[in-house]
Amino acid sequence: MFKLALQLGCTVNKLSHRLDYDEYIEWMAYDSIDPFGGFRSDLQTAHIVYAQCGGGDAKLSDFLPIDPNPMTDEMREQYEYEQAIKDSEQEARQLAEMFDRLEARQG
């Protein structure tokens, strides 16, 4: 309710008197689809900086002031392990496709 009141330029007290429950639920649904406020501004700024840097090896999350998906060390280690497996599987598929194309050219 505070974020909505800030966005609409009124106090929470005034908003609660002029906003019925159904409209409040609709605002909550809208915010879940297209959030506004502090985090949204951080995300937009990160997109701009990321674009200015040309991407490269950086990830969008490298430019956010907070980690949007905080993990424990164990969770991060498991996630990185699973990502390494996925990356290796993709590289193996690409390598096999390359050899198939080379073989088809020679055959």
pLDDT of residue 86: 94
Taking CA atoms, 45 is separated from 13, 34, 50, in Å, by 31, 16, 8
Which ranges of the chain does DSSP label H, i.e. alpha helix? 2-8, 12-18, 21-33, 38-53, 73-106
The answer to whether the predicted template modeling score (pTM) of the entire model surpasses 0.75 is: no
**For 15-62, how does the pLDDT look when each residue is reduced to its tens digit (9 = 90+)?**
989 989 999 899 888 888 877 766 667 777 888 888 888 767 888 777
* Mean pLDDT within 78-98: 94
Average pLDDT of span 70-82: 87
Asked if the model's pLDDT at residue 89 lies above 90, the reply is: yes
Cβ proximity of 29 and 18 under 8 Å: no
pLDDT value of residue 55: 65
Look at 82 and 73; give whichever has higher pLDDT.
82
